[in-house]
Amino acid sequence: MIKIIPAIDVIGGKCVRLTQGDYGRSKVYSENPLDVAKFFEDCGVELMHLVDLDGAKVACPANLDVLEKIASGTSLKVEFGGGIKNSGAVSSAFDAGAFRVICGSVACSAPELLASWLELYGGEKIVLGADVRDGLVAVNGWMEQSSTGVSDLLKKFLPSGLSTVIVTDIAKDGMLSGPSVELYRSLMEEFPQLQTVASGGVGSMSDIEALDAAGVPAVVVGKAIYEGKIDLRAAVL
């Protein structure tokens, strides 16, 4: 059964969601991310997804206090990303209680750094976040487009021990219009050794069932939970 990983995106210490990665189209869902995390915990969730959107924009984690509160205030394992551009940011995230750290833009800008972190911490602790727009990877809080295709990016890090990738289709993100099932299916066929986590577009339980039927092992879900499209408690059980 596919694992549901509920998401909290943070701007200014508040729980928000963007639409298609647009900072100008954000909606605040809670003033207190810890309360949201406790709700996830009450639903039986074990792993949650926390993105520091301020950090992604300024290239340095800006909401480590939120991570620390959730990690110390719940039993949840927290995967954390946003602004992870140097070794200090990685160690700071782990010090604040991250279970694993998501690295995105640095995979394009400084691949040797990401390779070194994979070798130092291992594939269970360092996750690649590949945010895709029209088949190409976007970087720096999705504000810039690289010239690198997602397959080429993944191939770079297999020798260093990459084991998990979270792939977000930016065009689908926050739209509740259905995930890119074919994208995930093709990546899993090309990279059967990787855990390919889906992200973006989930708007109903039928979307999750479609990903499950395709063999996707896990999916990050955000807006659909906040908008009441998915009953998290029922989905996790």
| Whole-Å CA distances, 17 to 47, 50, 127 | 19, 12, 21
Spatial neighbors of 44 by CB under 8 A, at least 6 apart, are: 233, 236, 237
Chain-centre distance of CA 199, in angstroms?
A: 7
Of the residues 131, 169, 173, 207, only one is catalytic, namely: 131
Q: Which two tokens stand for residue 44?
A: 């039986």
Number of helices followed by number of strands (H, E) in the chain: 11, 12
Strand partners, 142: none
Residue in 9, 169, 173, 207 annotated catalytic: 9
Is 9 tagged catalytic? yes
Distance CA 212, CA 99 (A): 24
β-pairing, 3-11 with 14-19?
antiparallel
CA dist 124 and 133 (Å) reads 26
Is 131 among the catalytic positions?
Answer: yes
Q: Which residues share a beta bridge with 7?
A: 49
Question: Catalytic site residues?
Answer: 9, 131
